Structure 1
């Protein structure tokens, strides 16, 4: 049955939903107040409830798949949600419930990283600590920060770091980030949070930087460099250079 065949239908029934065919793009059928029947391009059928949260923002809340959850059962679930909202109770999506679980058990990747960085406070200078923290926050935590670090696969890490190398061509920086992440996972291993480190051996499969000539000062530029060093304001730095 095509979606267009339901035009003019006053009451949606289970037989209608069972026979609905997928289309090139996902679509939803309204089945009751705030209750929608979602059909994916691959034919997967699920129930969703649409409502406004406490901040007035619209949310889609998945309540189960079809036919495991019948139309009557889905209507009951939707009614329960709207009763909670009426009583000012918070309704969490599956994603929000999972995030709360991860945060309550201190399993977010950013928690692990900050715990590991804390162990470096006595061995790294303040400048290095600040630099590495900012590098993590910019390149890694923006994607994995709220993820459950026990569930990030080796494949996902490989794809992430490989893409980072190829997009930004920051070979040495990525190798440092890999090393830091692997050491952070070792900390989790000693805590008994994981059984194995997903980053072990990963460097063997990442692109390597160019083996061309290192950056250098041309002979014609040398006199200017020497003069700049000699006239540098900090004498200790000038002597070191």
Structure 2
């Protein structure tokens, strides 16, 4: 799954294609109430040329431009200018939400809340701030949505931030997982340990060094002052 930093609006720099209007779908729109008739009428009355719409090429679903497509249909246009996005359906939905936050008719609070609920499920490794940036909500609101929507889901060890970097949610849990991986397979590359445990390569190296010297892979300061036990398979502390 893409990071938040990788789902950009730079698709606006993609070439434009003329596509038959009857080949496009407006399903899976982030607007819960669908088309806003007043906004459609405003666009219909406008004499300025409307910009190309954004379409998910694999499914031909409109990502951004539902009202512009409706105007084209009302004007009897057989084709409409389109720019394509080739990512996954989940990423296409995120792009739809972000696009509507940047221009056009803003999403309602209900739309944004529903979108954030879907994004924390489809992109569970994203941080609250990354989801907030995509949905137009506050990180605090996203955190509350995450707690409600993932109450029955096992917690993740790490999340991906806005910059695409993986950061552990629970540093102790990440170190403990790394300790188990290294104890079970001493020759495992540190990069593989870091990726699997949701920690940095430097932290994975520290865990290996601590295990080699018979220490707990989780320092007391990381545990919050508690002594803690060694990871399974690690030598006892001296």
Instruction: Decide: shared fold, TM above 0.5.
Output: no
Report the TM-score, using the length of structure 2 for normalisation.
Answer: 0.28
Larger C-alpha radius of gyration, 1 or 2? 1
Report the TM-score, using the length of structure 1 for normalisation.
Answer: 0.28
